[in-house]
A and B are shown apart, each in its own frame.
Chain A
Amino acid sequence: MSISESNRVIIESFRDHLKFLRKKSLELRIELLKATNKAQFGHTGSSLSAVDILVTLYYGKFHDRPVMQFDPQKPGWDGQDYFVLSKGHACPALYAILADLGFFPKEEMQHLFQMNSLLQGHPVKKIPGIVLNAGSLGHGLSGALGLAMALKADRNSNRVFCLVGDGELQEGQVWEAAMAAAHYKLDNLVLIVDDNGLQIEGPTRAVMSVDPIVDKFESFGWKTVPVWGGHNFEELLSGLERAIEVQRRPAVVVAHTIKGKGVSFAENKSFYHGVPFSDEEMAVAVPALEEELALLDL
């Protein structure tokens, strides 16, 4: 095989991979919308904002190397990477992914948030695939920090990924953790900010401005990787790759996202931060997503 030929194969397989990720993200959107609609509870807008980042982490590959090492069949495996969903209210997106990957039966999604069910309103450790309780805003990065410190102490080279929301950055604890991560030079820690600019009460810059996010982390001693297309898998993958390569300091990927992404009437509306879709809204949203999915296969 000539060099140009092998390059062509690599590029084509990468194109296929991107298409696979787009497909996953559409399927999972439908899954999470159905589950939250059935439960009549759930943070729809936040989940739709975060789902592409989560898909990149759980399904993404750089040149055949997965972004995250994990095996649903081996909980507690020593060679695994870890993920902490600090913006725990986006858990419908994460649960849909964990169910799809076989961490627990897909059937559980039918009982989302119901009494006596596995899947709680915010992630808890008893759910297979979840390592830390999260959802109390600002906790996740501290937990990820402790985990990254413990990995370093164990001379273990695996990584910790953590996803926070931009509104969550208003919590002081995040900055305590940011300071400590730089102090301990945790290059095994990658933070991703789901920067959709909206929180439940309205635009982040109106409620309590957190900008400039990149400059803030920079001044805390972090490597910063801005990603303008927070729903573009190519950009997300390359951003994460750059973040992972950083040495002797933690890295943050600040991903510009759209709250409610993928459902036209819900995009960029803080109203949809924490509400499920009604049946009428589902009748508009789901066929549109299914249509998009069908177009991908053409």
Chain B
Amino acid sequence: MTLGLFNKPVYDEIASTAKSFGDAMVKLGAKYKNVVVLDANAGRFLNLGGFARAFPDRYFNFGNAESNMIGAAAGFTIRGKIPFVCSFSMFITGRAWEQIRNAIAYPLLNVKFVGAFSGILCGEDGATYQALEDVALMRAIPNMKVACPSDSVETKQALEAMMNDYGPTYFRLNNTPVNNLHDDNHKFEFGRGHVYKPGTDVCIFSYGDTFHSSLGVAEMLERDGVSTMVVNLSSIAPLDENLVVECAKQASHVVTVEDHQITGGIGTAVAEVLSRDYPTKLTRLGMNGFGESGKPEDLYKKYRLDAVGIYEQIKALF
């Protein structure tokens, strides 16, 4: 059996987190009448058609004008609305960063930012569209929570968690289909990580699509007799600091894997915690530079974010 991002053990549902998000929003909109969706000409990539058809008076397109959209989100909150601000990760977090910081996070407004096509997985659109710094940009803002679900179950649960929470959140989504790794008993909570698979030699922290790769890596390493722990840190901020320390203590090698620059992402977040509470050697895997156009699976192969690539990089540590 081949393993890795695109050949995972088969579970029930195959959908991208972006698609699951759009499906979940229809239910969320029916449940919460104050949910509004603001879209910057990217709704189809977040599967927002269902929401727009079901609640035409709560769906607003702002065209290709992210800065204005985020400024307007601040206005919506004054009337008690909860805006879900949707676009490409790159243009929400990058182009409109100052609007997010000053208009939303500083006054602590209840606005949810949803970004599609995150990471190099964005694919053929090339480096221009590949948000590889979004986690770093959002993580640095006070009051901001950052979540990246790994499958449709987590996507739905994270949405509920966002609704039960007050304050700005950045929700990082991808558009490549993934299997469901979790069943409905799994619970997403902000500030909580989840040990998906226990192990003692290597501990891999990851989130999103590279979490899927990491599970493939674990299986390959186990075959080599290396006991591997895989931890899903889908709540990137706040980070489950206790869990990070506990897991690091159990393993002899600590590795972070992410589809993001190794600077500023979860590698940095884990390093911050460990350097303070449990200094140990940490290997950060991820992107170190700009991406390029290509099929997502080819890019993961080239930039060694697929199971084989990660496996080889971890094996080199021994």
Contacts and interface: CB of A to CB of B under 8 A. Distances in A.
Interface stretch (B100-108, B116-124, B150-158, B244-252): B100-108
Secondary structure at the A interface, as helix, strand, loop or mixed, is helix
B102 A149 contact: no
B65 A176 contact: yes
A156 to B, nearest CB: 8
9 contacts: A82-B78, A132-B74, A144-B75, A147-B78, A149-B75, A153-B81, A154-B79, A176-B62, A176-B67
A263 interface: no
Interface string A49-76: 0000000000000000000000000000
A150 B62 contact: no
Nearest to A172: B67
A177 interface: yes
The 4 lowest CB-CB distance pairs between A and B, nearest first, are A142-B71, A146-B75, A146-B72, A147-B75
Interface residues of B, number: 27
Contact of B68 (A131, A142, A151, A160): A142
Interface residues of A, number: 34
A148 interface: yes
Given A124-B106, A136-B98, 8 more contacts: A133-B106, A133-B107, A138-B67, A142-B99, A146-B71, A146-B78, A177-B72, A180-B65
A154 B57 CA distance: 10
B275 to A, nearest CB: 32
Interface of A: 82, 124-126, 131-133, 136, 138-151, 153-154, 156, 160, 172-173, 176-177, 179-180, 183-184
B9 to A, nearest CB: 45
Contact of A153 (B58, B73, B99, B102): B58
B279 interface: no
Nearest to A177: B68
Contacts of A136: 98-99, 102-103
B68 A173 contact: yes
A176 B57 CA distance: 21
A153 B75 contact: no
Contacts of B257: none
B66 to A, nearest CB: 9
